[in-house]
Amino acid sequence: MVAEPDALLKEALDALASADDPAALEQWRIAWIGTRGRMRTVMAQLRDVPAAERPAVGQRLNALRERIEQAFADRAGALAQEGTARAASSGRGRIASTIDPTEPGIPVGLGRRHVLSRTIDEIVEVFGRMGFSVAEGPEVEDEWHNFTALNIPPDHPARDATDNFYMGGSRLLRTQTSTVQIRTMERMPPPLRIIAVGRVYRPDTHDATHYSMFHQVEGLYVDRAVSMVDLKTVLFQFARAYFGPDAQVRIRPSFFPFTEPSAEVDMLMSIRGTPTWVELGGCGMVDPNVFRAVGIDPEAWTGFAFGLGIERIAMRRYGIPDIRLLFENDLRFLRQF
């Protein structure tokens, strides 16, 4: 049984109020919102909630998690201000004497494009040479475009509140840029050859190759007599054009509700000095049910789709060992690119 949100909130805030120094605050964070904290355990209990009640319960728990995380941020900010005030008070009268107004100022460095922005531009350029145009879509989606039209049934685990960021009702942050494929096929008749580039969101635990917000490039090609041979050719040509002729890529069978047959695309990368096969994304032939959902005749048209993680492409291209480095805004890292 999922715990009562109001009782959990009161318990969390009472414990937070007693965290009066950075060490105690960190212990509270680990206990409540860490990867093995109370909120993670509570969210996992959603799997036991009846399917009909799960969206409503998931929304309440997501709201609870947001309130607890905001309370933590507010408490951390308050403790930081208190520490700054104490330091300023103890050092008053000595700081001014160390300032020399005749010293030259520190040069202001010129900014540059983030490594992810550069990677996106490079990917778009490579696929553009293959005839793919760029399509766009919203990051806040509805369940029809994010699940139903992609042949993901109502009871599929991919719809669980623990695997999505629901925002109330049927709205959620998109979990894949496949939603742009659906929107494109709804408004444009085939033949189609497009890529969709953008942010996607999944509540993954952060580690060297996973993050809760990342970027995808999604490809869609719909025409007559399209086959897996065409899909494999496009992916291998992209890998060799972008990474060089020695790029090591493999495609292995898999399953996705929206493609049949399906496969996963892996690339050999060096993770902290160790060669490792890392999944770049999924691919396959568009399932006939997806075509029917958008009004395209699957007897007349065929197509393939693929989705690749842009962060992992950047990691392979630039030798970045940990995906978290891309989002920490550490100037020592960013100045290398």
Q: What is the pLDDT of residues 135-158, one digit of tens each?
A: 999 999 999 999 999 999 998 988
The pLDDT score that the predictor gives to residue 25 is 86
For the chain, the helix, strand and coil percentages under 3-state DSSP, each to the nearest 5: 45, 20, 30
Q: In the chain, pLDDT over 70 holds for what percent of residues? A: 95
**Are 258 and 150 contacting, i.e. CB atoms less than 8 angstroms apart?**
yes
| Planar angle of CA 153, 157, 160, nearest 5 degrees | 105
Does the pLDDT of residue 3 top 70, yes or no?
no
Does the pLDDT of residue 321 top 80, yes or no?
yes
3-state DSSP assignment of residue 191: coil
Q: How far apart are CA 59 and CA 247, in angstroms?
A: 44
Q: What is the mean pLDDT of residues 83-107?
A: 67
The pLDDT score that the predictor gives to residue 91 is 54
Token pair listed for 235: 């992916």
Its pTM surpasses 0.85: no
Does the pLDDT of residue 104 top 90, yes or no?
no
Domain ranges of the chain: 5-89, 115-334
Question: What residues contact 103, with CB distance under 8 A and at least 6 apart?
Answer: none
Instruction: List the 133-135 sheet strands across, edge first.
Output: 133-135, 192-201, 213-223, 302-309, 274-286, 259-271, 249-256
3-state DSSP assignment of residue 231: helix
Token pair listed for 209: 């190759």
Q: In the chain, pLDDT over 90 holds for what percent of residues? A: 46
Confidence of residue 93 (pLDDT cuts 50, 70, 90): very low
Class at the top of the CATH hierarchy for domain 115-334: alpha beta
